[in-house]
Amino acid sequence: MKTIIFLNTFLYVSMSFFSCSKPYEPIPFEYDPNFNYVSVLKSSAGYAYEYTDGYSEFTYQDSSDENLVKLKNTYNLENVAGNRDELSKIFNLLKWIHQTIIHDGGNSGPDPENSLNILQYCQETGNGVNCVIMAIVLNEVYLSMGFKSRVVHGNSKDWVFNGDWHAFNMVYSYTLGKWLFVDPTHQAYFTNNNGNVLSIAEMREHLIQGQPLILNDDADYNGHTINANDYLHYLSKNLYRFSCSVSSEFGNYWIFHDPVTNRIYCHLDPKNDRQKGLAKATNHFTSNPDYYWSKP
């Protein structure tokens, strides 16, 4: 049975998905399961929709890149994706990453931060990595298979921020003609009442409008069943504002070790609520969601 979540009657219950048994420790961030993060979203001033002439264009590395080809061939990703429809391939690749890498919020993984190095590190050590590193791997897996995708950093409003944010992915579906939200940490995506898979922007709007969101049946955290209300409550904190690299390509994230200094990051903020930029990067800020979520 799919879990339908109505935000108008949203229940904030115990954080069961943060309380899985050892050896997986709880995610090491401060988080208040009783705080009404949805009310913060609803209090947002909306977006300014400013002109974006001259803004950087979002780019996606071609699957013919030698590193992406190596990634695809090393892990037989064509077989992982399968030969069915586009959506099944997207979800098969999501499931493979989730089942191949465990989550450990306290581990930023190896240097350099690229999929080939990360996958080798996880296989050799058995260690897990944090959500950003998992999203980097999934992003490069999608690119290697010809999908357009980005790593997205979901952030809270400044005064709510207490050391925690979450990273996930957006992947473009030509079948549906839109971006889709996928979260490799939880093998998760959401649909509406009609079974339509939702984008990040649509999820955010559903939360604001109190519309139902339906979590996929096989979502979990390190093999443990998650409570859909808890998970969405956690996400609602991190859907206030967003950051991503303008260029989606192999090995260009490097956030935790020796950051690449020529990176350009774009940040989507509500009107008159600009967030901080990323250190050692060129930061562009916008309050125009049409630009930020522009189709490839």
pLDDT at position 280: 77
pLDDT band per the 50, 70, 90 thresholds, residue 162: low
Is the CB of residue 153 less than 8 Å from the CB of residue 132? yes
Q: Is the pTM of this model over 0.85?
A: yes
Please indicate whether residue 182 or residue 259 has the higher confidence score (pLDDT).
182
147 — pLDDT class (breaks 50, 70, 90): very high
Show the tokens assigned to 169.
């992915």
| Per-residue model confidence as pLDDT tens digits over 244-255 | 999 999 998 877
User: For residues 42-61, b (16+ Cβ closer than 10 Å) or e, as one string?
Assistant: eebeebeeeeeeebeebebb
126 vs 19: which has the higher pLDDT:
126
Look at residue 170 in the predicted model and tell me its pLDDT: 98
Q: How confident is the model over 260-277, as pLDDT tens digits?
A: 667 889 999 999 988 888
More confident residue, 168 or 273: 168
Stretch (H or E) spanning 292? helix 289-292
Tokens read off for 283: 């930061």
**pLDDT for res 252:** 85
Asked which of 85-89, 132-136, 215-219, 229-233 is least confident by mean pLDDT, the reply is 229-233
DSSP 3-state of 73: helix
Q: Backbone dihedral region of 215: left (phi > 0), alpha (psi from -120 to 50 degrees) or beta?
A: beta
What average pLDDT does the structure give for the chain? 87
* Cβ 267 vs Cβ 292: under 8 Å: no
- 58 contact partners, CB below 8 Å, separation of at least 6: 150, 246, 247, 248, 266, 294, 296
User: What's the distance, Cα to Cα, between the start and end of the chain in Å?
Assistant: 34
Instruction: Please write the tens of the pLDDT for every residue from 116-127.
Output: 999 999 999 999
Q: What is the pLDDT of residue 236?
A: 92
Which pLDDT value is given to residue 6? 35
In the predicted model, is pLDDT for residue 288 greater than 90? yes
Please tell me the predicted confidence (pLDDT) of residue 151: 97
Residue 102 tokens read as 């465990």
H or E element that contains 131: helix 131-144
199-237 pLDDT, tens digit each: 999 999 999 999 999 999 999 999 999 999 999 998 998
Longest dimension (CA), the chain: 51
For residue 154, the model assigns a pLDDT of: 93
Q: Are strands 282-286 and 264-268 parallel, antiparallel or unpaired?
A: parallel
Is residue 234 within 8 A of residue 166, CB to CB? The reply is yes
Query: What gap in Å lies between CA 10 and CA 32, rounded to an integer?
Result: 15
Count other Cβ atoms within 10 Å, centred on residue 27: 21
Give me the pLDDT at residue 58, please: 97
Phi/psi region, residue 272 (left: phi>0; alpha: psi -120 to 50; beta: rest), is left
The sign of the dihedral angle between the CA atoms of 181, 182, 188, 194 is: positive
Whether the pLDDT of residue 134 is over 60: the answer is yes
The DSSP secondary structure of 44-69, one letter per residue, reads ---------TTPPPPEE--TTSHHHH
